[in-house]
Amino acid sequence: MKHSTRQRADLLYDCVLWLFNIMLDIFFREIRPRGSHKIPRRGPVIFVAAPHASQFVDPLIVMRECHRRVSFLIAAKSMKQKAVGFLARMVHAIPVVRPQDIAEEGSGRIQLLNPKSSPRVISGMDTHFLSQLQPQDSIFLPRGIGKFEVVKILSDTELIVKSDVTDKRAVHVLCKPEGTAYKCVPHVEQDSVYERVYDELNNGQCITIFPEGGSHDRAEMLPFKAGVSIMALGAMAKYPGMDVKIVPCVGLNYFHAHRFRSRAVIEFGKPITVSSELVEKFKMGGTEKREACASLLNTIYYALKSVTINASNEQTLMVIQAARRLYKPAHRKLHLAQVVDLNRRLVIGYNLYKDDPKVIELQHKVLAYNQLLKYHGLKDHQVPGINLRGWRTFFLLVYRLLTLAVWGLLAFPGGILNLPILVVAKFLSAKKAKEALASSTVKIAGRDVLATWKFLVGLVLLPTMYGLYTILALVFALRSDWKWLYKIGLPLATWTLLPIVSYCSMRWGENGVDVFKSLRPLYLALVDPDSTENLRKTREKLSQDITELINDYGPKVFGDFDPNNVFRPDPSTKHSVSELAEGEKTFKEIAAEWLNTAATEWLDDSKIFNWTKESSIGDDVLYFLDKQGPLTSTSASDAECSKREQDRTRQ
């Protein structure tokens, strides 16, 4: 009986996943996996995914590309939403009650009267600590400034927290004469969640967890929660002999994550084996248990960190991306996964040589080039297309205008049919982003929920609208004098052809957008040929300088670096692809070494670029690189640039 129930659940899971795959293929132009062969085909596995850049799309991509049935942890708050909750239950999602989701506004205001003599005593004004708080509950300060666990409640207006209030921002707001507002966050026991996870793993199933605790659109990974280490160690402690593998799901690199028809890359790292020593320490409890969890959590964190694009801030990543776009290896055709890998390598190389005078000089040249792009209103990938003169440029412009008209006419029917869906998706996703931003202390603009709600709106409205169009066709047919064969055939044909027409229109529309984006360079080449020619030559010279610098420094960093093909190992070297030339260190070793020793210094923006807060150069870089999202995203135009150059060459 139990076996048949599981079979029915698996069948339902496969059907829902099939539906999700269709929607993912519609929403994304391309999803490319890397390292999926590393995933164990049998036995319990915990997929640990970070950064969590897209709320519900991230788990769907993991489900799609891991080729195993997985259950993922989801906030219980999200399960209360009808559509999300229904679909989540179909794919065996495990709800988790997050304390921040059930927090309530605290009465009155709180302050710290004696920060030096009594740094743990919180006083209140018009507060009701006895009724709103209990020991082990927490107090949250506004804007994520601080979180303090309550140890003892002395009265309605006085309590003691577990640790000293030493953070400068927290001390500042708490020492104000008027005090500060706060939230009361109850302590939540997650024993039932852990028990369910243990049972799933004991049955050889897979679990997906996002250890940051929630999605976000920040420029760096958030601190990890200890839950993933407790799940792995707790399952192996409860069921002796179990061998839980932890697979880092790194990458989740989105090319404009919140935009329709964007691209994504997901990379699976090498499985982490949990040592028996840590399991034994976990069983001891107390300090040993905490040490075991912390040790495993650090291992997971650095496994993810060392193979992710780890720029300290958005501006740094943008400069790296500019270098990658301008770099011209002999092997130019790079697919999405190689683009991500090249970004990662450039970040490591940049960190090692960021103080080199040649690197600093090239940074200034890139910034000057950015200013020229801003002046002309162009993107970098459009510059190579302005190398024609005179009548050739004019005729090419006319030809592309005619081509645009053809693509527009072909895309028009599907565009009109699906316009209501696009409008509703844009409006609703923007509304949900504002709501998520208002209720979160870690989000910047709420971009992490945009793709999710566009996806969900499409999932609901696409069949709804097609059903409505089919009903209209049926009503029209019944009112006509046609034969019954035609009356039945028209709605059936409508229901069958609508998805085909919509998909074809979408693809034709994409071609039209690509042609439209190529018009401005041709127009500028006609009206201002001297200026655009200077811009093109500037780009060529800058590309040459960057290529020479990377080819010069690349072999000093990576043992597998080959200027003729940046992803082909050099047969003459004894090192593998992942090893470095100096000191025989692996890529992960140098990344981890950098994270442990140099990251603190690198996180200082002023040391990276020698900029001051008054400098306006950062804004120009932000404009130049298409207003990128989280650090895990890269520009879609880069992946399209090679294709467009080939198209222009054929023309």
Scanning the structure block, which residue is given the tokens 């509703």? 424
In this prediction, residues 310-333 reach a mean pLDDT of 66
Each residue's pLDDT tens digit, 48-73: 987 777 778 888 888 888 888 998 88
CATH code, 2-96+191-305: 3.40.1130.10
Residue 582 pLDDT level (bands cut at 50, 70, 90) = very low
What pLDDT sits at residue 538? 86
**Considering only CA atoms, which of 97, 147, 105, 95 is closest in space to residue 126?**
105
What ranges do the domains of the chain cover?
Answer: 2-96+191-305, 100-185, 314-384+538-650
Q: Is the peptide bond before 51 cis (omega within 30 degrees of 0)?
A: yes
Backbone angles phi, psi at 116, to 5 degrees: -95, -50
The 3-class SS string of 284-338 reads HCHHHHHHHHHHHHHHHHHHHHCCCCCCCCHHHHHHHHHHHHHCCCCCCCCCHHH
Backbone angles phi, psi at 123, to 5 degrees: -105, 150
Instruction: Take residue 29 and report the two structure tokens written for it.
Output: 């132009």
- Taking the complete model, does pTM exceed 0.85, yes or no? no
Instruction: Take residue 164 and report the two structure tokens written for it.
Output: 């000293």
State whether residue 159 is helix, strand or coil: strand
Q: Which residues pair with 250 in a beta bridge?
A: 267
Residue 393 pLDDT level (bands cut at 50, 70, 90) = confident
Q: Is the pLDDT of residue 442 over 90?
A: no
Q: CA-CA distance, 516 to 529, in Å (whole number)? A: 20
**Higher-confidence residue: 91 or 255?**
91
Backbone angles phi, psi at 275, to 5 degrees: -75, 150
H or E stretch at 243:
none
Please calculate the CA angle 308-636-454 and round it to the nearest 5 degrees.
90
Instruction: Take residue 205 and report the two structure tokens written for it.
Output: 């199933």
In this prediction, residues 467-491 reach a mean pLDDT of 90
The 3-class SS string of 491-548 reads HHHHHHHHHHHHHHHHHHHHHHHHHHHCHHHHHHHHHCHHHHHHHHHHHHHHHHHHHH
Do 379 and 514 meet the contact criterion of CB atoms below 8 Å apart? no
Lowest mean pLDDT among 44-53, 218-227, 467-476, 628-637: 628-637
Each residue's pLDDT tens digit, 186-218: 988 888 899 999 999 999 999 999 888 777 766
Each residue's pLDDT tens digit, 365-384: 887 887 778 777 787 877 87
What pLDDT sits at residue 156? 92
Backbone angles phi, psi at 105, to 5 degrees: -65, 135
Q: CA-CA distance, 74 to 59, in Å (whole number)? A: 10
Backbone angles phi, psi at 444, to 5 degrees: -100, -50
Residue 45 pLDDT level (bands cut at 50, 70, 90) = very high
Do 122 and 132 meet the contact criterion of CB atoms below 8 Å apart? no
Torsion sign across C-alpha atoms 302, 305, 311, 313: negative
In this prediction, residues 165-170 reach a mean pLDDT of 87
Cα pseudo-dihedral 587, 592, 595, 597, rounded to 10? -110
Q: CA-CA distance, 629 to 321, in Å (whole number)? A: 13
Q: CA-CA distance, 424 to 422, in Å (whole number)? A: 6
Backbone angles phi, psi at 311, to 5 degrees: -90, 145
How distant, in Å, are the alpha carbons of 110, 161, 174 from that of 180?
Answer: 5, 16, 6
Do 178 and 91 meet the contact criterion of CB atoms below 8 Å apart? no
Neighbouring CB atoms inside 10 A of 540's CB total: 15
How distant, in Å, are the alpha carbons of 169, 376, 408, 520, 634 from that of 514?
Answer: 48, 19, 12, 12, 18
What pLDDT sits at residue 392? 79
Q: CA-CA distance, 238 to 536, in Å (whole number)? A: 65
DSSP 168-185: HHHHHHHTSTT-B--EEE
**Considering only CA atoms, which of 171, 126, 127 is closest in space to residue 146?**
171
Collect all residues with Cβ–Cβ distance below 8 Å to 352 and sequence separation of at least 6.
557, 594
What pLDDT sits at residue 642? 42
The yes/no answer on whether domain 100-185 falls in CATH 2.40.30 is yes
Collect all residues with Cβ–Cβ distance below 8 Å to 645 and sequence separation of at least 6.
384
What pLDDT sits at residue 86? 85
Lowest mean pLDDT among 214-218, 244-248, 506-510: 214-218
